[in-house]
Amino acid sequence: MADENISDLIERYLKEILADNEQVKIRRSEIAGLFDVVPSQINYVINTRFTIQNGYIVESKRGGGGYIRIEKVHLLDDIDVLNSLIDAIGNRLSKRDSETIVQTLYNNDLINRREVGIILAAIDKDAIDLNNSDLTDIMRANIMISILNRLRYER
Amino acid sequence: MADENISDLIERYLKEILADNEQVKIRRSEIAGLFDVVPSQINYVINTRFTIQNGYIVESKRGGGGYIRIEKVHLLDDIDVLNSLIDAIGNRLSKRDSETIVQTLYNNDLINRREVGIILAAIDKDAIDLNNSDLTDIMRANIMISILNRLRYER
DNA sequence: AATTCTTTGACTAATATTGACTTTAATTAT
DNA sequence: ATAATTAAAGTCAATATTAGTCAAAGAATT
């Protein structure tokens, strides 16, 4: 417990609030001031400790009245399939492989027919085409991973 | 819930009225006075929060007895909603506008909460980012249109 | 010694607020 | 009737107020 750098302290501070609340809404500069660090360190703490893998989602808004909101989400129990699918996708994902993944999701009752349609529309070749099949496969991988991560929790 | 910016407060004020009425008719300077802001801020609020994507149409008149009227738009059926949303998307689509669209889909019972999450994941900034914000907005427009088109016949 | 993690700050991006100037419509004066 | 005045709303660019990114420097760990 005594091994604490400032990022750890900030993490602990936020998680203590999250122990009693579903979410924290902060003003970045305030927290930075509280711990006497530069504002961007708050981003560092968030990026390293409040990821979706840890069960947190983060929203923010800039400008007057801006904020950062961290929300704890409930990760589902049976997400092994999702996790292994995420792990299996590398940087690129072919159309064919993406269809296999969607089929797997459907077979495992992780998505319904309608959701199959939506996901296939989201990664549709024409939609994400960039005149560069390499880029298209990268884009497809990114989108698929983002969706799989979303399926890992419910709100 | 405190600490919202004034534009959010004005938005909320108007939407509360619109919850009970089909339309609001305001005198710009009055609302500005009520919230102690400059009159043109009312235009800012309207332009950013009461767009057609949001499901509102706005009419106004200048000169003596001038006014601004905000009206909830009433589209006949789901296809109308989808068509008008598709029409409103050009080549590019900002994050903000995309969120408005998804909200409108939800408000019109065209998608459920879970589908909101999936769609937002599909167009998430980090997912479709290619280190080029121009391309990001183009990609977001393409994906959103693809999904909207899917919803058009999958229902 | 090498690698990874943390801290810092300069620069960028998004959103909100303000105010000077313009346009339109109604009212009043000629 | 027509012109002048007044009373609105609209536009747009400048400024203010946040948060985000990224890379370099420093610290800790392996």
Q: What confidence category does residue A133 fall into, taking pLDDT thresholds of 50, 70 and 90?
A: confident
Identify all chain A residues contacting B126, using CB atoms and an 8 Å cutoff: 142, 146
Residue of higher predicted confidence among A4 and A69:
A69
Is 3.10.300.10 the CATH number for A76-154?
Answer: no
Q: What is the SS3 assignment for chain A?
A: CCCCCHHHHHHHHHHHHHHHCCEEEECHHHHHHHHCCCCHHHHHHHHHHCCHHHCEEEEEECCCCCEEEEEECEECCCCHHHHHHHHHCCCCCCHHHHHHHHHHHHHCCCCCHHHHHHHHHHCCHHHHCCCCHHHHHHHHHHHHHHHHHHHCEEC
Spell out the residues 6+ positions from residue A14 whose beta carbon is closer than 8 angstroms to its own: A24, A26, A45, A50, A70
pLDDT in tens, B68-116: 999 998 887 889 899 999 998 988 999 999 999 999 999 999 999 999 9
User: pLDDT at position B2, please?
Assistant: 44
The DSSP output letter for B54 is T
Instruction: Measure the CA–CA gap between B152 and B147, rounded to whole angstroms.
Output: 9
- Calculate how close chain A gets to B4, using CA atoms only, in Å: 6
pLDDT in tens, A4-58: 899 999 999 999 999 999 999 999 999 999 999 999 999 999 999 999 989 999 9
Q: What confidence category does residue A65 fall into, taking pLDDT thresholds of 50, 70 and 90?
A: very high
pLDDT in tens, B15-55: 999 999 999 999 999 999 999 999 999 999 999 999 988 99
Mean pLDDT, residues A149-153 taken together: 95
3-state secondary structure of A59: strand
Task: State the fold for domain A6-72.
Answer: Phenylalanyl-tRNA Synthetase; Chain B, domain 1 (3.30.56)
φ/ψ region of B98 (left if φ > 0, alpha if ψ in -120 to 50, else beta) reads alpha
Mean pLDDT, residues A56-81 taken together: 94
Angle (deg, nearest 10), helices B6-20 and B40-49: 70
| Domain boundary assignment for chain B | 6-72, 78-153
User: pLDDT at position A131, please?
Assistant: 78
- Calculate how close chain A gets to B65, using CA atoms only, in Å: 33
Q: Which residue has the least CA–C1' distance to nucleotide C24?
A: B62
Q: What kind of architecture, by CATH, is found in domain B78-153?
A: Orthogonal Bundle (1.10)
Q: Which residue has the least CA–C1' distance to nucleotide D22?
A: A40
State the Cα angle at A70 between A34 and A154, rounded to 5°.
165
User: pLDDT at position A3, please?
Assistant: 67
The DSSP output letter for B132 is -
Task: With CA atoms as reference, report the closest residue to A143 among A76, A89, A72, A77.
Answer: A89
Identify all chain B residues contacting A67, using CB atoms and an 8 Å cutoff: 3
Residues on chain A bordering chain B, Cβ-to-Cβ distance under 8 angstroms: 27, 63-65, 67, 114-115, 117-124, 126-128, 130, 135, 138-139, 142-143, 145-147, 149-151, 154-155
Phi, psi for residue A61 in degrees, rounded to 5: -140, 140
